[in-house]
């Protein structure tokens, strides 16, 4: 009797999981159909977020923007983008090392600054050249 009861519970559980899967499928398809596509007007924003746009000169940027303009829209002649995009970090000058600790009581002398190349083999190679 216990074999029959366990097989019935396994069958009920299996049917329940199949029904749950079908419900999730219907809900997913409903969400996909309800999703609203981006308007064509927002296409230039996608282009502006691209690396090719950030590295291009002004003429190429205008061409990239005009390629994605909606039908019937006038082409962009100039745009109000900043002259330097901050998408890629600018290099900053190297700051001098400032040691905040007092080393007067240390057992080892502390060098005021570390050498530019720490590997001695690289130092030898540069001296030989």
Percent residues over pLDDT 90 in the chain: 17
Same domain membership, residue 13 and residue 45: no
- Whether 109 is covered by a domain: the verdict is no
- Whether 6 is covered by a domain: the verdict is yes
- Whether 93 is covered by a domain: the verdict is no
- Across the chain, what does the average pLDDT equal? 77
**Residue 122: pLDDT over 70:** no
Q: Which domain holds residue 13?
A: 1-35
**Residue 46: pLDDT over 90:** no
Mean pLDDT, range 27-53, rounded to an integer: 85
Distance separating alpha carbons of residues 14 and 22, to the nearest angstrom: 12
- Whether 111 is covered by a domain: the verdict is no
Q: What is the pLDDT of residue 121?
A: 65
- Whether 126 is covered by a domain: the verdict is no
Distance separating alpha carbons of residues 24 and 108, to the nearest angstrom: 69
Distance separating alpha carbons of residues 84 and 90, to the nearest angstrom: 10
| Band of pLDDT at residue 72, cut at 50, 70 and 90 | confident
Same domain membership, residue 22 and residue 10: yes
- Whether 63 is covered by a domain: the verdict is yes
Same domain membership, residue 42 and residue 15: no
**Residue 35: pLDDT over 80:** yes
The total domain count for the chain is 2
By C-alpha distance, which of 44, 94, 98 is closest to 68? 44
**Residue 89: pLDDT over 60:** no
């Amino acid at each position: 009797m216990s074999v029959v009861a366990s097989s019935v519970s396994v069958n009920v559980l299996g049917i329940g999981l199949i029904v749950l899967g079908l419900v999730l499928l219907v809900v997913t398809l409903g969400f996909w159909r309800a999703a609203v596509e981006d308007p064509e007007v927002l296409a230039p924003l996608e282009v502006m977020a691209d690396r090719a746009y950030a590295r291009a000169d002004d003429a190429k940027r205008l061409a990239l923007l005009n390629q994605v303009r909606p039908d019937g829209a006038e082409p962009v002649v100039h745009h109000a983008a900043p002259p330097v995009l901050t998408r890629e970090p600018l290099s900053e000058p190297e700051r001098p090392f400032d040691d905040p600790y007092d080393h007067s009581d240390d057992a080892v002398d502390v060098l005021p600054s570390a050498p530019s190349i720490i590997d001695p083999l690289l130092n030898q190679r540069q001296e030989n050249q």
